Amino acid sequence: MMNREVNKQYSSGEVLAPPTERYTVLGWLKKNLFSTWYYTLLTLVTLYVLYAVLKPTLFWALKQAEWEVVVVNLRLFMVGQYPADQIFRIWIALHLLAFTAGLAWAIWLPKARRIGAFLLLIFLGLAALPFISGFSRINWVIFVVAALIGWGLGTWKPKAMRRPLMWLLLAYFPILILLILGIEPILKIVKTNLWGGLLLTMLLAVVGITVSFPLGILLALGRQSKLPIVKGFSVLYIEIIRGVPLVTVLFMAQLMLPLFLPPQIKIDNVLRAMAGIILFAAAYMAENVRGGLQAIPKGQHEAAWALGLSGFQTMYYIILPQALRNVIPVIVGQFIALFKDTSLVAIVGLLDLLGIASTVLAQPEFIGHQREVYLFIALIYWVFSYAMSYASRRLEVALGVGER
Amino acid sequence: MNEAVPFWRDERVLKWIAQIVFLVAVVASVWYLYHNMITALAARNLLPSFHFLKLTAGFDIGEHLIPYSRNSTYGRAFLVGVLNTIEVSFLGIIFATILGIIIGLMRLSTNWLLNKLASIYIEIIRNVPLLVLLVFWYTGVFLQFPRLKQAKILPGPTIVSNRGIAMPWGTPTATWHTYLYILLAGLILAAIVWWRLTLIGKRTGRMPLVTVWSFLTFLGVAALGWGLVTLIFHQAPLALSTPEIKGLRTVGGLELTPEFLALFSGLVFYTAAFIAEVVRAGIQSVSKGQIEAARALGLNGFQTLRLVVFPQALRVIVPPMTSQYLNLTKNSSLAVFIGFPDLYSVAGTIHNQTGRAVEVTVLMMGVYLSFSLATSIFMNWYNKKIRLVER
């Protein structure tokens, strides 16, 4: 009887949908928090610990902490000693970045409109912060407008804008350096020892990754080379640098670089630190690029040879383009790591985002506000590196980078 | 057609020419830099030599594992720094591994609260520079403890103040040396138990809890030895020393300075986040079929973990774990920023006093390089031992 019923049901063509998991609130709690007696115990203990930790922390952050130290010194944290009348140059660089990012967003992530709009809202929100100057307020608005113009252009003619975007991306680094450093008749030179705060942190990371990129490719090719002397040199360099901490490389750059150079050349603290960071990043970059090179199947080499390409042509036209495309996600990861690692220049006395904290804390009215200052700095680092890693994950998926 | 390839188009010859040109370029530039350096150093009367290591240092180091005073030599000061680095890295590695495994397992747990907590922890820690964390721990936590006069006294007594934490600890007595031999014997006995049990396990196919039994053997011998030594010599190997406040400092017990505590906890909390991800990736790499097969064979949950999941996960975990350990050791050099006298910090002081940049840099880098080499050799050996042996 039962069987016949079931058969009838199936034969009538109505296929039952698979049961979906639906929980009531209580059911969800039971499954995810109180499934067994030891999970119940763990949940309760964790809740108590959370309460015990969060309550005084929140009380401190909202009632006791004096955030004035951050508000008053905001410019110091952002750009350090950079001359106040030249700050518009940093803004121009930022607007150009916003324009480029808008363009890239329209071309590469045409579907992710909602996130883009959300980001723009955040920047507009920054313009509405109560304690920033009118000049910054206007600039945040221009920033958003620049991004919108870029996005509009990209949506209007996505095909035609691909090439300009590439050029913009390639030219951005030299333009950035020219803007910040200056060219004499047009823009006043701002010496590197005046760079500071988040600006210096960012520049150190950008310069480090950009300059170490070609060096890293050379070292990686050297390590793969069949010439024993070249290979030996590359391996030695990479392994020595990777075996020592960054501070020792910075220490060496600070103290030994002036000795190595002829006495008439004098370079300041910031340039020495940059040299150290570049030397350090090149070794890690080489290993990343090598990973990409090793992932290229041997057939590609052989096919290129069979077509009559020379060794250089094979590398330049066949192997490197594929290898570099594959390692983009890893290089983004390295950039984020380097962004965090640049905080080490504070040890050799530079006034980057972390180094400037001691200057701020030395102000007589703000003595003893370490918690506020360091929490603020940690928050800035966190926001930037989290945003970058989130964006790179999204981009990887959208572009299919790293997949073959 | 017996025409030989002319030598300027012979690939073998070209290769050698390329290498020689490269070598000449490298040697020339290194010589140029070296020449500049020697000229500059000669002008300052600081030609490279390591004789300064025998001179009297004349500065104090707050924490030292071997006897040291300001009359000791620079060489000894350097050694103190090296030992401090080893101490904090060794302890850091052990505790970071334990915490990392716990957080990694939390991250895999089906308990929603634990899972979310672990991922929030990992996302916060991994996106903040270690140096910022260290400074925060130091100035924001350990230096904010109450002053010694209002020190918080926890059971033990453990004295918590902004001068650090002092807790009860054993101090060796006259019989400690004798007791060390007994501990050694216990260790040997534990090794024998390990070996025999492994043999039995292999023969019968039922692996006993080898680690637990050998650990119990060691503990048993240690406890028995303690009683025997106390009975025979009427003096326990270790005497309990409790800390107490005397004036402006604490006396007795084990004193942990705020610098050490900040560096240690900073390193542990930071590295644990990375280790947690390594552990999670390792355990997730074991395919579900393995676990289901183990359950089908009648193994219980614990046995499945011990006999099936862990041995396979270990293979994936070991290589990235090695680099985390190396990172921790290298990261301990950030100690200088919060004033813990590690290798880098002591080397910096030596350089400030003597001006010998080149020698100090060479020594410092040499030591870090040998740490890295030693760790990777050990881990490579271990990795080889546990890797998959295919028939």
Write out residues in chain A with pLDDT < 70, as ranges. 1-14, 20-23, 399-404
pLDDT at res. A303: 93
Please tell me the distance from the alpha carbon of residue B135 to that of residue B141, in angstroms, as a whole number: 9
Contact residues on chain A for B26, CB-CB shorter than 8 A: 233
pLDDT at res. A13: 57
Smallest CA–CA separation between B207 and chain A, in Å? 28
Contact residues on chain A for B131, CB-CB shorter than 8 A: 343-344, 346-347, 354
CA distances from A189 to A82, A95, B133 (A): 11, 21, 35
**Tens of pLDDT along B171-181?**
888 888 888 88
> In chain B, what is the greatest distance between 2 CA atoms, to the nearest angstrom?
100
Residue range B361-370: mean pLDDT, rounded: 93
Put simply, the answer to whether A35 touches B135 (Cβ < 8 Å) is no
Confidence of residue B44 (pLDDT cuts 50, 70, 90): confident
Over pLDDT 70: what percentage of chain B? 98
Please tell me the distance from the alpha carbon of residue B269 to that of residue B189, in angstroms, as a whole number: 36
Task: List the single best residue of B365, B367, B379 to mutate versus A (max A Cβ within 10 A).
Answer: B365
ipTM score for this prediction: 0.85
pLDDT at res. A365: 86
Using only the alpha carbons of chain A, give its radius of gyration. Answer: 27
Q: Which residue from B minimizes the CA distance to A374?
A: B136
The torsion angles phi and psi of A157, rounded to 5 degrees, stand at: -135, 75
pLDDT at res. B276: 95
How many CB pairs below 8 A link A and B? 146
Contact residues on chain A for B111, CB-CB shorter than 8 A: 32-33, 35, 39, 42-43
DSSP secondary structure letter of residue B147:
P
Of B37, B117, B133, the CB nearest to A46: B117
Bridge partners (DSSP) listed for residue A195: A80
Structure tokens at B280: 């999670």
pLDDT at res. B2: 56
pLDDT at res. A404: 45
Query: Strand runs (DSSP E) across chain B, as ranges?
Result: 152-154, 158-161, 164-167, 169-172, 238-241, 244-246, 249-251, 254-256
Q: Which residue from B minimizes the CA distance to A347?
A: B337
Closest CA to B224 of B179, B191, B190: B179
Neighbours of A55 (CB within 10 A): 10
Put simply, the answer to whether B361 touches A256 (Cβ < 8 Å) is yes
Bridging pattern class, strands B164-167 and B244-246:
unpaired
Which residues touch B373 (CB under 8 Å, ≥6 apart)? A243
Structure tokens at A170: 């390639």
Contact residues on chain B for A385, CB-CB shorter than 8 A: 127-128
Contact residues on chain B for A69, CB-CB shorter than 8 A: none
Confidence of residue B188 (pLDDT cuts 50, 70, 90): very high
Please tell me the distance from the alpha carbon of residue B286 to that of residue B275, in angstroms, as a whole number: 17
Put simply, the answer to whether A243 touches B373 (Cβ < 8 Å) is yes
Averaged pLDDT of chain B: 87
DSSP secondary structure letter of residue B141:
I
Closest CA to A76 of A384, A268, A344, A351: A351
Please tell me the distance from the alpha carbon of residue B351 to that of residue B360, in angstroms, as a whole number: 6
pLDDT at res. B87: 93
pLDDT at B327 over 70: yes
Smallest CA–CA separation between B195 and chain A, in Å? 36
Q: Which residue from A minimizes the CA distance to B356?
A: A255
Structure tokens at A276: 């150290």
Please tell me the distance from the alpha carbon of residue B8 to that of residue A90, in angstroms, as a whole number: 54
Bridge partners (DSSP) listed for residue B250: B245
Cβ-count burial B310-347 (b if 16+ within 10 Å, e if not): eebbbebbbebbbbbbbbbbbbbbbbbbbebbbbbbbb
Contact residues on chain A for B366, CB-CB shorter than 8 A: none
Please tell me the distance from the alpha carbon of residue B275 to that of residue B87, in angstroms, as a whole number: 20
pLDDT at B357 over 80: yes
Bridging pattern class, strands B244-246 and B249-251:
antiparallel
The residue ranking higher by pLDDT, B111 or B388, is B111
Give me the residue spans of the domains in chain A: 21-57, 83-190
Cβ-count burial A291-316 (b if 16+ within 10 Å, e if not): ebbeebeeeebeebeeeebeeeebbe
Contact residues on chain A for B345, CB-CB shorter than 8 A: none
Instruction: Give ∠ CA B322-B138-B325 in degrees, rounded to 5.
Output: 5
pLDDT at res. B388: 65
pLDDT at res. A21: 67
Neighbours of A372 (CB within 10 A): 22
Of A258, A263, A382, the CB nearest to B128: A382
Please tell me the distance from the alpha carbon of residue A66 to that of residue A59, in angstroms, as a whole number: 12
Query: A138: part of which helix (H) or strand (E)?
Result: helix A134-156
Task: List the single best residue of B17, B105, B111, B142 to mutate versus A (max A Cβ within 10 A).
Answer: B111
Confidence of residue B116 (pLDDT cuts 50, 70, 90): very high
